[in-house]
Amino acid sequence: MFSKILVANRGEIAIRIIRSCKEMGISTVSVYSEADRESIHTALADQSLCIGTASSSDSYLNAERIVSAALATGAEAIHPGYGFLSESIQLAGLCEKHHIAFIGPPSNVISKMGDKDAARSIMKKAGVPIIPGTPILKDANEAIKAAKKIGFPLMIKARAGGGGKGIRLIHKPEEIENAFLSASREALEAFGDGALYIEKYVSPAKHIEIQLLADEYGKVVCLAERECSIQRNNQKLLEEAPSPAVDEKLRKKLTDASIKAADAVGYINAGTVEFLLDMAGNFYFMEMNVRLQVEHAVTEQITGLDIVKWQIRVAAGVPLDFCQKDVIIAGNSIECRINASAAGKVTFLHVPGGPRVRFDTALWTGYNVPPYYDSMIGKLIVHAATREEAIRKMHAALCELVIDGVPNNIDEQIEFISDEDFQRGEYYTNFLEKNRI
């Protein structure tokens, strides 16, 4: 097992990883930007190093500085968390070059799955259902021709990256040219790759994902599904596990497809296979996230497994000590992402408590939320014996959560879980559009 791990991230996920390391008896190194000098993750780690200015490109996105910090402190492994460099071929490759363990899949796997066009081809060959679509398109004219064959509505999607960037929903032919050019520019600026392809738009649909763990000895275990259908601009806002739309028969099919996906690329560590589920019960591969995800906590709640600890164990060469039949779903869990709509100083913070209520955050009263990073400032997670009880528990927790001084979306989350469609489990990726929330 590792004796020291560098955490290459910030905020609540850095704290989450540091806590797991402490419980495992592993020393930690945190890195921080000048804007995060007073952040909790810098105080919780055994060592901390400033690696640059507030700009992400000068700090949390600078792979060379992060690896240099690991070498300088004697860290044997780097955990990238999510976002920033968590899916970076460069960081994984530098770790391999300098004999530092990267707590994630090998760089060649990241490369395969980071190219969504290549990933679609691999999945199709492996027998995993994919959404009808095209290869990479040369230009807008080629896109217009392809769109006529596929039919409307459709999605123009970037080959690289994630987070909703480089994606456009198209309803008619005259929208394609401008959308193609703007999506390509956005993807080029965000990921350095402006290549695009087209997929049929499946709607109404549910966004279902399968969390898995895979060790280096060929064992793959799926940890049931999560539903992430409440989204704005392809950014998830609320997640739950298990999905109210998935029964045992469908879960088995999704699990089998996810294992095929992992086997097809020789996957190692924690990963998530994302699917669209249509009204008829057909599901289609969208992408594979080769990292820990924001919503991993709801899976931890229903399975009793610490996914971060298992990421660390797998990276250290420890085999999974459980099989698929050992994964038991216990109860229901819901996570609400608490986002800030502007930077500001937290003048008062009250965190709800009670059995099986969890708030993952880096906030404290007096903390200045910086304007440079992601808008998520916390994750409120609840777990209960039934979905109905989990909804009531989340409503109570949201009503108790107070974050003054920073505008946030707590009230909006209360609207989500109070909605009748959500409470019945009959909600889809068009939830916000339909309900005009």
Active site members: 291
Number of H helices, E strands in the chain: 15, 20
**Residue 178 has which token pair?**
């401008």
Record the tokens describing residue 143, joined without a space: 């896109």
CA distance 78 to 114: 20
Nearest to 407 by CA among 309, 338, 359: 338
Q: Which residues pair with 275 in a beta bridge?
A: 208, 285
- 204 CB contacts (<8 Å, ≥6 apart)? 278, 279, 428, 429, 430
Q: What φ, ψ does residue 320 adopt, rounded to 5°?
A: -60, 130
If phi > 0 it is left, if psi is from -120 to 50 it is alpha, else beta; for residue 134 that is: beta
Adjacent-strand bridge partners of 338: 378
CB atoms closer than 10 angstroms to residue 436? 5
Place of tokens 């998520």: 376
Question: In residues, how long is the chain?
Answer: 437
